């Protein structure tokens, strides 16, 4: 492609790395030529990619991560939610602790499913009543969905919260448009109702994109400790001298490049991954607490509480079990660990 001498003033510009012939959106060092965005899209499609569109969506989401203007609202809402939903009880249910995974992503399928079905029915003659019922069910299902979402949002990092606020605003916009659609259909303005539904679905899709950015790019909702037992080599490993462990206090020890938190209570030693499953907080800086089934460790960042014997979640926001290790003390007084097998309980551990 030949570089242009100068694009028309009305063109919106993007960059094109000339040597590689691939649109990457203007951050690449080296020789770039300037082409119109529409032309870049044309060549991206010709190459069988949609790199420009994907890159611009991703950059828009990344810009939100640094939107400091949202911080005031985020702090006020966080304070409010933490007062309304203290740790335990309903907060645990909304996080998904009893289910072992976050409930908000699962619940989002309800309004999206109802509303998508209603919009499809709009193209089927004689389905007006069905479409109205589906919109109403979708609106009703936003109540638990939003409640679970706000509970999770209140225990996120600030960058995640900024994206989460716009994600929530998109959801609110979608709900408003579908409520208006239902109202319009109720007063006989079906055509207006259909248009409002399509607008609502577009807003829900934008919110869904940000939700996936939160979950997959920013790691909200995934376990941040999962790789530990996966990476830990098989077999028993010497860790440290048992005599060097303080009684009743959590300490951090390294197993190669993996960080573990060790808790000694009398002759009993427990070991968990040190990186909290919720968002990676340092568990060795947390406090020990009595809990159901034995001692627990409370994460210093957002208060997730794990049973030290097996890493079970006692309180959220974490929903994934904290990876636990079997521990034994050798005749020479050396603490040895190996990854705990699934479902290996405290009783079995004590027999060893």
Binding site for ligand FES (CB under 6 A): 155, 276, 278-281, 299, 301-304, 317-318
Helix (H) or strand (E) holding 348: helix 346-351
206 or 312: CB nearest ligand FES:
312
Q: Is the dihedral of CA 28, 32, 34, 38 positive or negative?
A: negative
DSSP string, 89-104: THHHHHHTGGGTS-SH
Could you give the C-alpha distances from 19 to 31, 33, 54, 76, 126, in angstroms and in order?
A: 7, 10, 21, 50, 57
- Rounded CA separation 136/299 (Å): 41
- Rounded CA separation 133/143 (Å): 17
Q: C-beta of 163: minimal distance to ligand FES in Å?
A: 17
Q: C-beta of 219: minimal distance to ligand FES in Å?
A: 11
Q: C-beta of 71: minimal distance to ligand FES in Å?
A: 19
Q: C-beta of 155: minimal distance to ligand FES in Å?
A: 6
Quick one: how far is CA 24 from the chain centroid?
Answer: 26
Helix, strand, or coil (residue 11): coil
Q: What are phi and psi of 223, to 5 degrees?
A: -75, 125
Q: C-beta of 134: minimal distance to ligand FES in Å?
A: 37
25 or 286: CB nearest ligand FES:
286
- Rounded CA separation 297/78 (Å): 24
154 or 304: CB nearest ligand FES:
304
| E strand map for the chain | 13-17, 32-36, 237-241, 250-255, 258-265, 268-273, 287-291, 294-298, 305-307, 313-315, 324-329, 334-339
203 or 297: CB nearest ligand FES:
297
Q: C-beta of 307: minimal distance to ligand FES in Å?
A: 15
139 or 261: CB nearest ligand FES:
261
Q: C-beta of 318: minimal distance to ligand FES in Å?
A: 6
Do 263 and 309 meet the contact criterion of CB atoms below 8 Å apart?
no
Q: C-beta of 300: minimal distance to ligand FES in Å?
A: 7
DSSP string, 278-318: TT--BGGGSEEEEETTEEEEE-TTT--EEETTT--EEESS-
Do 301 and 276 meet the contact criterion of CB atoms below 8 Å apart?
yes
- Rounded CA separation 289/243 (Å): 23
């Amino acid at each position: 492609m030949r570089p242009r001498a100068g694009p028309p003033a009305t063109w919106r510009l993007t960059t094109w790395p000339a040597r590689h012939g691939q649109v990457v959106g203007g951050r690449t060092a080296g020789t770039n030529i300037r082409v119109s965005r529409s032309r870049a899209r044309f060549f991206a499609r010709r190459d069988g990619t949609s790199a420009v569109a994907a890159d611009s969506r991703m950059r828009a989401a990344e810009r939100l991560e640094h939107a400091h203007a949202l911080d005031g609202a985020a702090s006020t809402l966080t304070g409010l939610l933490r007062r309304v939903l203290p740790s335990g009880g309903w907060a645990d249910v909304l996080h998904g602790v009893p289910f072992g995974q976050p409930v908000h992503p699962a619940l989002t399928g309800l309004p999206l499913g109802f509303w998508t079905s209603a919009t499809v029915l709009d193209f089927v003659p004689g389905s007006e009543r069905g479409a109205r019922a589906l919109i109403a069910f979708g609106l009703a299902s936003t109540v638990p969905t939003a409640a679970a979402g706000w509970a999770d949002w209140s225990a996120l990092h600030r960058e995640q919260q900024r994206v989460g606020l716009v994600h929530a605003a998109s959801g609110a916009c979608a709900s408003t448009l579908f409520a208006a659609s239902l109202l319009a259909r109720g007063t006989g303005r079906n055509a207006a109702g259909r248009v409002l539904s399509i607008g609502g679905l577009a807003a829900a899709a934008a919110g869904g994109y940000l939700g996936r950015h939160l979950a997959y790019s920013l790691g909200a909702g995934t376990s941040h400790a999962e790789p530990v037992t996966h990476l830990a080599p098989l077999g028993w490993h010497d860790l440290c001298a048992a005599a060097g462990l303080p009684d009743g206090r959590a300490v951090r020890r390294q197993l190669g490049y993996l960080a573990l938190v060790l808790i000694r209570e009398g002759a009993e030693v427990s070991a968990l991954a040190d990186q909290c499953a919720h968002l990676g907080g340092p568990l060795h800086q947390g406090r020990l607490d009595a809990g159901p089934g034995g001692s627990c460790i409370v994460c210093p960042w957002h208060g997730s509480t794990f049973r030290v014997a097996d890493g079970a979640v006692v309180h959220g926001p974490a929903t994934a079990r904290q990876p636990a290790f079997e521990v034994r003390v050798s005749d020479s007084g050396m603490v040895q660990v190996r990854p705990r097998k699934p479902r290996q309980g405290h009783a079995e551990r004590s027999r060893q």
